[in-house]
Amino acid sequence: MLTLNNRPNPAAAPTLDQVVELIPDAFVIFDGDHRLLAANAAALRCLSLSREDLRGMGCHEFFQGVPGGCAGEGGCPLVTAGSAMEPLPVQIPGGRGRRRLSVRISRGRGEHGDFFGLLLHPDPEAAPASPEGARLVGQSLPMLELMRMVERVAPTSATVLLLGESGVGKERVADYLHHCSGRAQGPLVVVDCSTLGEQIIEAELFGYEKGAFTGADRRKVGLFEAAQGGTLFIDEVGELPLSMQSKLLRVLETSRIRRVGGTDYIPVDARVVAATHRDLAAMVAQGGFREDLYYRLSAFPVFIPPLRERREDVIALAEHFLRQADGGALHLPLSVPVADLLVSYHYPGNVRELKNIMTRAAILAGTGPLLPEHIAFQSQAGEAVSVASPRRGSRSVCTEAGVRAALAATGGHRAEAARHLGVSERTLYRYLEKFQIRV
Ligand SMILES: Nc1ncnc2c1ncn2[C@@H]1O[C@H](COP(=O)(O)OP(=O)(O)OP(=O)(O)O)[C@@H](O)[C@H]1O
């Protein structure tokens, strides 16, 4: 029981277990005998251990993985950490093998002795060990800010909603989030609502029992169950039919599913990350999306800016995709004219378009040098992609090299060069004046 000073009615005070649940990050408390007193749900997920596994666990077993006495001054982090809140990299044995965590330990003094609070985070130093697929390429400010947000929310159990135009990297960010979470060793299951018809989506998500419908000749486990202990990435959640939206909401609220044709409720422990390129708030206003589900999903929205708003990432991404292409590494680093040309473009198809451009360029260049003529932009017409962007209205910034490259690539055609840069012709004129470029 936790009571505050002079509390008139201690019986009404919250328990320690209830208090630790208020902390969104993975958090555990040890008592003065170095025995674990309480852990919140985020910590259980982070360590893949149950509350029963953890309660009463000694510091030696917690830090070393095997029961034993406290290692004392020489080795127990609770003793050595003091009150400095410096993160401490440790290898903690979880339910599925050891994992590297960064632990911040703080010491408190109570009536009956000391106690210790431990905040657990995935160790950023361990990031290189994560698979290539989980790495986010990009060093622009918006990208660094995005990574910080994702790393912050990853260890919690919050539902995350990824917003951004098509091809901007939503699935990639979901992958990164999964690998930064305590569920990294669990599965990452992806479901794309835009590719599933209304009839099959329920069976896909929740599974079905034998005989549930014609053709159901055996029991099938759904994607929620397949994601047990891991993450379920629901892509294009805006395409979910209304009837399914209420069912999804129920699962998010109760953490239980019922297979189609089944009667039992099955507990599921899957962290949900959803994504959409659509403006869900507008869909709510038009009655196409349930308001309650919208609020539930957007507990932690993360906006991924379009590539044209983070042109500083273009070269790093281009070289990354070139490295992945057959024989592409031959062309690294990119020549200045190719780099200028790439940076000048506005990428309506975002990172996916850049990836396709680089894969194609590597093929066209073969074993010779990679030249500007090998760069073929896919959406030269510059058609607008429908955007659900809270940052709509932010302006493209063109460099002198970019403007010159766009003019060179379009044979000096101003209207085409403006389209190519993703700006209006009037804006292009302002740039021509600013950089004193004559066409
Ligand atoms: N920051 C990044 N670093 C490395 N690769 C990236 C990055 N962002 C996107 N990609 C790659 O670009 C391609 C498109 O990204 P992704 O599929 O994640 O986009 P998306 O926003 O989910 O698209 P859609 O809305 O069409 O589902 C993928 O091959 C992905 O791996």
Q: How far is the CA of 308 from the centre of ligand 1 (A)?
A: 14
| Average pLDDT estimate for 103-113 | 83
Strand (E) or helix (H) holding 245: helix 242-254
pLDDT at 100 over 80: no
Confidence of residue 379 (pLDDT cuts 50, 70, 90): low
pLDDT at 104 over 70: yes
Q: How far is the CA of 262 from the centre of ligand 1 (A)?
A: 37
| Average pLDDT estimate for 243-270 | 94
Q: Is 137 in the pocket of ligand 1 (CB under 6 A)?
A: yes
β-pair type (231-235, 271-276): parallel
Distance of CA 291 to the CA centre of its chain: 23
Q: Is 76 in the pocket of ligand 1 (CB under 6 A)?
A: no
Pocket test for ligand 1, best of 161, 273, 352 (most atoms within 8 A of CB): 352
Q: How far is the CA of 352 from the centre of ligand 1 (A)?
A: 6
Our CA angle for 325, 166, 186, nearest 5°, is 70
pLDDT at position 285: 95
pLDDT at position 109: 85
Q: Is 170 in the pocket of ligand 1 (CB under 6 A)?
A: yes
Q: Is 352 in the pocket of ligand 1 (CB under 6 A)?
A: yes
| Average pLDDT estimate for 33-37 | 91
Q: How far is the CA of 350 from the centre of ligand 1 (A)?
A: 8
Are the CB atoms for 408 and 336 separated by under 8 Å? Answer: no
| Average pLDDT estimate for 218-243 | 91
Q: Is 190 in the pocket of ligand 1 (CB under 6 A)?
A: no
pLDDT digits (tens, 9 = 90+) for 63-96: 776 667 787 776 788 877 654 455 666 656 554 4
pLDDT at 275 over 80: yes
Q: Is 267 exposed, middle or buried (0-12, 13-18, 19+ CB in 10 A)?
A: exposed
Helix and strand totals (H; E) in the chain:
18, 14
**Neighbouring-strand partners of residue 118:** 28, 105
Distances (CA, A) of 37 to 15, 34, 108, 118, 133: 11, 9, 14, 11, 38
Q: pLDDT: is 362 or 90 the higher one? A: 362
pLDDT at position 280: 94
Backbone angles phi, psi at 245, to 5 degrees: -60, -40
Can you tell me which atom of ligand 1 is nearest the CA of 173?
Answer: 18
pLDDT at 125 over 80: no
Identify the structural domains of the chain with CATH numbers, from first to last: 10-123 (3.30.450.20), 130-303 (3.40.50.300), 309-384+395-434 (1.10.8.60)
Count CB-CB contacts under 10 A for residue 326.
9
pLDDT at 129 over 60: no
Q: Is 168 in the pocket of ligand 1 (CB under 6 A)?
A: yes
Q: Half-sphere exposure (CA, 13 Å, Cβ side) for 152? A: 9
pLDDT at 430 over 60: yes
Q: How far is the CA of 174 from the centre of ligand 1 (A)?
A: 10
pLDDT digits (tens, 9 = 90+) for 179-228: 999 999 889 999 999 887 777 889 889 988 988 888 778 888 889 999 99
Q: How far is the CA of 142 from the centre of ligand 1 (A)?
A: 16
Q: Is 277 in the pocket of ligand 1 (CB under 6 A)?
A: yes
Can you tell me which atom of ligand 1 is nearest the CA of 143?
Answer: 1
pLDDT at 46 over 80: no
Dig out the tokens for 105 from the structure.
């330990």
pLDDT at 130 over 50: no
pLDDT at 57 over 80: yes
Arithmetic mean of pLDDT over the chain: 83
Are the CB atoms for 36 and 57 separated by under 8 Å? Answer: yes
Q: Is 377 exposed, middle or buried (0-12, 13-18, 19+ CB in 10 A)?
A: buried
pLDDT at position 72: 78
Computed on alpha carbons and rounded to an integer, the radius of gyration of the chain in Å comes to 26
**Neighbouring-strand partners of residue 232:** 189, 272
Q: To the nearest 10°, the Cα dihedral for 323, 324, 330, 332?
A: -20
For the chain, the first-to-last Cα distance in angstroms comes to: 78
**Neighbouring-strand partners of residue 26:** 120
**Which of these ranges, 121-135, 278-292, 357-371, 398-412, has the smallest mean pLDDT?**
121-135
Q: Is 316 in the pocket of ligand 1 (CB under 6 A)?
A: no
Q: Is 306 in the pocket of ligand 1 (CB under 6 A)?
A: no
Strand (E) or helix (H) holding 146: helix 141-153
Q: Is 374 in the pocket of ligand 1 (CB under 6 A)?
A: no
Sign of the Cα torsion 349, 352, 354, 357 reads negative
Can you tell me which atom of ligand 1 is nearest the CA of 192?
Answer: 27
Confidence of residue 175 (pLDDT cuts 50, 70, 90): very high
Q: pLDDT: is 131 or 289 the higher one? A: 289
Q: Is 351 in the pocket of ligand 1 (CB under 6 A)?
A: yes
pLDDT at 327 over 60: yes
Can you tell me which atom of ligand 1 is nearest the CA of 138?
Answer: 1
pLDDT at position 391: 33
